Amino acid sequence: MSPESMAAVIAARYPDVLVARAETTVVVDREELLEALAWLRDEPTLALGFLSSITATHWPDRDPAFWIDYELRSMTLHHRLRLKVGCTEEDPTVPSATTLFATANWLERETFDFYGVVFVGHPDLTRILLPAGWDGYPLRKDEPLGGVPTWFHGTTMPPVDERGMA
Amino acid sequence: MSDTGQRMPGAPFDPAGDVAGSFRDPVSGDFRQETMIINMGPQHPSTHGVLRLLLELDGETVIRCKPVIGYLHTGIEKNTEYRTWLQGITYVTRADYVAPFSNELAYCLGVERLLGIEAPERATLIRVLVCELNRITSHLVGLATTGLEMGAVSVMLYGLREREMIMDIFEGLTGLRMNHAYIRIGGVVMDLPEDGPHKIRDLIDILPSRIDEYETLLNDNPIWRERHEGVAVLSAQRCLQLGVTGPVLRAAGSTADLRKDMPYCGYETFDFDVPTRTEGDAYARYRVRIDEMRESLKIVEQALDRLMAAPGPVMIEDPKIGWQARLSVGPDGIGNDPAYLAHIMEESMEALIHHFKMVTQGVDVPAGEVYSCVEAPRGELGMYLVSDGGHRPYRVKIRDPSFVNLQALPDVIEGYLVADIIAAVSSLDPVMGGVDR
């Protein structure tokens, strides 16, 4: 299905649809996220049953501050759709998609690990790439690059960019 | 330590955390006494990289498995936000280091779509050529390490021997054996070297008989079959639920392949098949990878024929982007071309100013977002790129197939024997650089 005709089908139900660079993006409210994902997956003319990726972007001075991005793919009809849902810095929570897509488990853990977005209803929302005791969410825009001490059992080393400075 | 991984206020810092927490009895909070919890990895010769598996065992049977990853996390995604769009290539190429060209291609196709430009035809052909050669090296590494982990050291030696032929081609082309940064925004850095086509023809002559040799050695080898048949079975339906793509999915009967389903780089004009099997076990994955090497070789041959027939530029004209084609291969990789260096340093002050500005700042990319995906050797490799209109990426997310495919591991080994873990991990063939990024 072409991006334009896909946008027309979706707009009948979720009006906030955009086509740019031959990619379709639909923005839905946080409350209707699971319903929208389930409908896109089960609607036979769309058949977006494969969840490729979940990630987030952080915009500290904007509202909403977080955009959670879901990349859907149809294995039978060979088209794609991007679904986005926003949430604020004060309440960075979205419902977990793990009940609809098993693959969401690690993808949501990674997004939580990097951005601190809490996926409500996730069975095991723990850090995945960073150590369990890590402080902060490194891909947020207000987290600096570097300046992280190196840990060993029982001791720490100063950050790489500060070593050798008396 | 809470179960969400968040540090409680005032709690002492504990880098390891309670990673085995999910193995505790939900009521009493204790571990079960009749089973054993052991650690496999992260430094283990058979875990295919720096992968740590927490296993709960009842005798030889795996009751529960929890992969613990992140030991190779290098913050590639964060780092790209502090570099120019062009410098981003040198970061993303290091994610899945066994298939670096796929990373570069997905990233560059995405940036090109944001910029609204398209690489010249010859550059696209060279991209297809290197990516398919890279698919062969990647599957050879997969085969070689599987052999090593199964105790079939000769398979490891054969696999790496043939890989070395292709690494020679890559080294002649890009100056490096890996982390090439050869595919650039707007094209590729430079054309094939003079002896390139000759070396590739040699490979096309030799490799099919070598692949025959692997098949003679392994296809009906009783030990190989015993270790792989019926092991780590995943149905196509379960693969799709878990997001598993690539040879693992095609070994379960699906024909999903982005090169056919959503063609990019003109793949629809090449004549090749998508090998599939129906068993969905480790042996089927081995057979699919072997067949894919033959198909890739077919594409390489067609791309090379077309390259010989169609000379032309390998980089777009726009001097703000096209200056990258004025680099050359030196003894330590791609670097400044002496003639170009003489031009900017000795002849033209304006050229020097332009060079300085283009290298330090690069191009401004219009605000927007794209998801650009290619069929990497391990499955769907996606790059979600967001620009806020500046000369640096706002966000680069790498959807690496190794990361998503590894999620299927507990599914395929819980209830099976410890010895099957080795075959299961190596048949999923994760590259930890891609998993941890």
Cβ burial, residue A110 (10 Å; 0-12/13-18/19+)? buried
Per-residue pLDDT band at A72 (split at 50, 70, 90): very high
Which residue of A52, A81, A84 is the best one to mutate when testing the B interface, meaning the one whose CB has the most B CBs within 10 A?
Answer: A52
Give yes or no for residue B15 having a pLDDT over 80: no
Of the pLDDT bands very low, low, confident and very high (cuts 50, 70, 90), residue B46 is low
The pLDDT, as a whole number, for residue B304 is 92
Residue B314 has pLDDT above 80, yes or no: yes
Question: Residue B18 has what pLDDT?
Answer: 62
Nearest-by-Cβ selection for A151 from B15, B19, B70: B15
Which chain B residues are closer than 8 Å to A23 by Cβ?
370-371
Average pLDDT over residues B360-382: 90
Interchain CB contact of A120 with B (< 8 Å): no
Cis omega before residue B222 (within 30°)?
no
Residue B10 pLDDT exceeds 50: no
The helices-and-strands tally (H runs, E runs) of chain B is 18, 10
pLDDT class for B72, splitting at 50, 70, 90?
confident
CA distance B406 to chain A (A): 10
Average pLDDT of the residues of chain B: 86
Judge: B384–A55 Cβ closer than 8 Å, yes or no: yes
Please give, rounded to a whole number of angstroms, the shortest distance from the CA of A74 to a CA of chain B: 10
Mean pLDDT of B365-390: 92
Q: What is the DSSP string of B41-62?
A: -SS-TTSSSS-EEEEEEETTEE
| Residue B399 in contact with partner chain A when CB distance is under 8 A | yes
Confidence tier at B2 by pLDDT (50, 70, 90): very low
How far does the CA of residue A110 sit from the closest CA of chain B (Å)? 10
pLDDT of residue B325: 73
Which residues on B lie below 8 Å from A69 (Cβ)? 369, 384, 397
Question: Measured between CB atoms, does A121 come within 8 Å of chain B?
Answer: no
Give contacts of A55 with chain B, Cβ < 8 Å.
384, 395, 397, 399
| Percent of the residues in chain B that have a pLDDT greater than 90, as a whole number | 44
The lowest-confidence range among B52-56, B326-330, B413-417 is B326-330
pLDDT at B272: 92
Q: Residue range B187-198: average pLDDT?
A: 87
pLDDT (tens digit per residue) in A54-70:
999 999 988 899 999 99
List C-alpha distances in Å: B284 to B228, B230, B356.
Answer: 8, 9, 53
Which residues make Cβ contacts (< 8 Å) with residue A101, sequence separation at least 6?
A: A37, A41, A51, B241, B243
Higher pLDDT, B345 or B105: B105
Are the beta carbons of B4 and A55 separated by less than 8 Å?
no
**Of A103, A106, A131, Cβ closest to residue B16:** A131
CB spacing of B243 vs A107 below 8 angstroms: yes
Q: Quick check: B78 pLDDT over 70?
A: yes
Closest to A108 (Cα-Cα) out of A100, A97, A99: A97
Interval A100-120 mean pLDDT: 92
pLDDT over threshold 70, residue B261: yes
d(CA B409, nearest CA chain A) in Å: 12
What number of CA atoms fall less than 13 Å from residue B409's CA on the CB side? 33
pLDDT at A164 (0 to 100): 65
A-B Cβ pairs (cutoff 8 Å, strict): 125
Least CB–CB distance from A129: residue in B17, B19, B69: B69
pLDDT band at B360 (very low <50, low <70, confident <90, very high): confident
Residue B63: is its pLDDT beyond 90? no
Chain B residue numbers with beta carbons less than 8 Å from the beta carbon of A129 are 69-70, 73, 436-437
pLDDT band at A147 (very low <50, low <70, confident <90, very high): confident
* B241 to A103: CB separation less than 8 angstroms, yes or no: yes
Q: From the list A25, A101, A133, which residue is nearest B1 (CB)?
A: A133
User: Of B109, B85, B89, whose CA–CA distance to B375 is shortest?
Assistant: B109
Long-range pairs, A127-130, Cβ under 8 A, ≥24:
A127/B5, A127/B17, A127/B70, A128/B69, A128/B70, A129/B69, A129/B70, A129/B73, A129/B436, A129/B437, A130/B70, A130/B73
Mean pLDDT computed over every residue of chain A? 87
- What's the ipTM? 0.89
Measuring CA to CA, which residue among A52, A58, A108 is closest to residue A83?
A52
Q: Which of residues 24-63 of B touch A (CB under 8 A)?
A: none
Lowest-confidence range among A51-65, B197-211, B327-341, B357-371? B327-341
What three-state secondary structure class fits B241? helix
* Confidence at B189, pLDDT banded by 50, 70, 90: confident
Nearest-CA distance from B301 to chain A in Å?
28
In our burial notation (b when 16+ CB lie closer than 10 A, e otherwise), range B211-237 reads beebeeebeeeeebeebbeebbbbebe
B256 touches chain A (CB under 8 A): yes
Q: What is the pLDDT of residue A107?
A: 93
